[in-house]
Structure 1
Amino acid sequence: MGDKISLPPGLKFFPTDEDLVLHYLYRKVKLLPCYSDFIAEIDLHSYNPWELPGKASGGSKEWYFYSQKPRNYRKNSIKYRPAASGHWRVTGMDEPISNGSTIVGCKRSLVFYTGKAPSGTKTDWVMDEYSLLESTTRECKKRGSSRTVSGDWVLCRIKERGLHSEMKCEEDDDDEGTELSAMDEIFFSLADDFDEITSPINQQFAAAFLH
């Protein structure tokens, strides 16, 4: 747990919602081969969200985990999920995840609140929780219990909204503050001279001069 993965230069782990459900969560439940090193397995509800980045397999803006819902919170109607010093609160409507025309899972958005539910203080920590449909889970178990893992597994993506805004501002500031090097200035100067020489009017003067 928490072992850092190493990707080739230029590659980043940015899976789509469909990738997470079909190629990671479903394959984990079915005990099929998958890229297990990319997503750590933890008891998500034993930690505060700011403790999770150090336990992830990688990532600097988003962190991914496999986790199981606590037994008392496995019903889809439960709005609150316990955590170390607060709780995760479900927001909005579930978003279906499809494989072609077949819905196989859903994405649920949650926000972390410090303090005990249903009160508490809202934070900038958010979570996307991916789960398989109950029919899909039953199908996996029906095909052979020796080929499935027990429990109600979910795949979670954790991020901090304020962190994303700060990183975006820093990137914009870097772009605005970029200065031309001496070689860049020489290049653009030569490019301007070339444009002047190759313009139609200057070409006419050059042709008349040569003749």
Structure 2
Amino acid sequence: MGGASDLPPGFHFFPSDEELVVHFLRHKASLLPCQPDIVPTILLNHYDPWELNDKALQAGNQWYFFSHATQSRVTPNGYWSSICADEMVKSSGCNIGLKKTLVFSIGEPSEGIETNWIMHEYHLLDGRKESNNWVICRVFDSTCGSQANFHEEGMELSCLDEVFLSLDDYDEVSLSNN
């Protein structure tokens, strides 16, 4: 499997929603090559989110992969369920895709315990309806850095970064109390 290591030094894989749909999902659905060809195809139902290492493309604290669109998102130990309304993905003012946000729960459907694992599942639109059976997914642990921070502030924080930053805050409080 290809991966982020296939990118030239200094390059990082942190695409926007529009880039995921236009440059990756549209190519996959049209059977066109993706350049670079680094996003693997996996069967979503075969893996729990913590099993994505070495199977999906890891970029920071996020994992990316193509999968077949499916109604059943049951995995060996849980299931993915929608947690909010779908969002439109736009390019040049036109709706080109649909972004579904799902949360992973451990256990049986409707009886499970929600985790901090979040998945954004992107679908192509043909006019105003979903088209073909391919999706591209971005999965991340919402307690381990913030996916929104990277896109809004130009940086991504890992779990360790957040721990070190919290230690800096602790040092400042300790110094001001002395």
Give TM class, smaller chain: 0.7 to 0.9
After superposition, the Cα gap between the structure-2 partners of 1:93 and 1:138, relative to the gap in structure 1 and judged at 3 Å, is closer
- The CA deviation at 1:45 is 1.4
CA deviation profile, 1:76-113 (whole Å, cap 9, x unmatched) = xxxx6211211001011111011212111111100000
After superposition, the Cα gap between the structure-2 partners of 1:11 and 1:171, relative to the gap in structure 1 and judged at 3 Å, is farther
Alignment partners' CA distance in 1, 2:3 and 2:89: 29
In structure 2, the residue matched to 1:172 is: 165
Alignment partners' CA distance in 2, 1:35 and 1:167: 31
Q: How does 1:170-209 map to 2 (within 5 A)?
A: 170-172=163-165
- The CA deviation at 1:169 is 1.7
Q: Does the 8 A contact of 1:5 with 1:37 survive in 2?
A: no
Question: Which of 100, 112, 117 is equivalent to 2:104?
Answer: 112
Bigger-Rg structure (1/2): 1
Q: Does the 8 A contact of 1:94 with 1:109 survive in 2?
A: yes
Alignment partners' CA distance in 1, 2:90 and 2:115: 31
In structure 1, the residue matched to 2:55 is: 55
- Choose between structure 1 and 2: higher strand proportion: 2
Q: How does 1:57-96 map to 2 (within 5 A)?
A: 57-70=57-70, 73=71, 81-96=73-88
Q: Does the 8 A contact of 2:99 with 2:120 survive in 1?
A: yes
Question: Which of 102, 112, 122 is equivalent to 1:130?
Answer: 122
- The CA deviation at 1:56 is 1.8
Alignment partners' CA distance in 1, 2:42 and 2:91: 27
Tell whether 2:145 aligns with 1:153: no
Q: Does the 8 A contact of 1:63 with 1:159 survive in 2?
A: yes
Residue identity matched to 2:20: L
In structure 2, the residue matched to 1:198 is: none
After superposition, the Cα gap between the structure-2 partners of 1:156 and 1:64, relative to the gap in structure 1 and judged at 3 Å, is same
Alignment partners' CA distance in 2, 1:102 and 1:171: 42
After superposition, the Cα gap between the structure-2 partners of 1:161 and 1:42, relative to the gap in structure 1 and judged at 3 Å, is same
Secondary structure in structure 2 of the residue aligned to 1:41 = coil
Residue identity matched to 1:5: S
TM-score normalised to the size of structure 1? 0.66
Residue identity matched to 2:75: A
Q: Does the 8 A contact of 2:43 with 2:68 survive in 1?
A: yes
- The CA deviation at 1:137 is 8.0
Q: Which runs of 5+ in 1 are unaligned?
A: 74-79, 140-150, 178-211
- Choose between structure 1 and 2: higher helix proportion: 1
In structure 1, the residue matched to 2:43 is: 43
Alignment partners' CA distance in 2, 1:3 and 1:11: 12
Number of residue equivalences? 159
Q: Which runs of 5+ in 2 are unaligned?
A: 147-158, 171-178
Q: Does the 8 A contact of 2:2 with 2:37 survive in 1?
A: no
